[in-house]
Copies of this chain bind each other. A is one copy, B any other.
């Protein structure tokens, strides 16, 4: 979630024409409190203006390839999309509820990952680390 990002500038910084569709997709991702699936992004954008499913997938691919958006495993069958870490948005882990499927952002720094061991012993190039905590969310605990 971000109140400080200028999405038009972000797109231009990534070398992408700031078309209306791209702006809408990026705004939906940026204004949501947790990462969204392509399906949810499509549905949300569609509430204000028509957009094709394939266009959404293509825009998501572009945004990820330019580093504006990160693509994560949602814990289920679909991938989810959130703003990529930047100066306003520190990287952070996510929590996936195995009961209701909800996904939430956890505090940046709430979970420390020490990469030094891998960086020493691993022969490839490390580009990112995804941490997903799984369990039962508070709401589902109450219901049970």
Contact = CB atoms under 8 A, between A and B. Distances in A.
B129 A132 contact: yes
> Chain A: interface residue count, which band?
35 or more
Interface string A89-125: 0000101011000000011011111110110011111
Nearest to A127: B135
A60 to B, nearest CB: 13
Interface in A62-78: 73, 75, 77
Contacts of A129: 111, 131-134
A8 to B, nearest CB: 28
Q: How many copies of the chain does the oligomer comprise?
A: 2
B136 A127 contact: yes
A111 B110 contact: no
A45 B121 CA distance: 34
A57 to B, nearest CB: 12
Nearest to A115: B111
Nearest to A75: B73
A73 B129 CA distance: 13
25 contacts: A73-B132, A93-B118, A95-B124, A106-B122, A107-B117, A107-B118, A110-B117, A110-B121, A111-B115, A111-B117, A111-B129, A112-B112, A112-B113, A113-B114, A124-B135, A124-B136, A124-B137, A124-B138, A124-B141, A125-B141, A128-B133, A128-B135, A129-B131, A130-B133, A130-B134
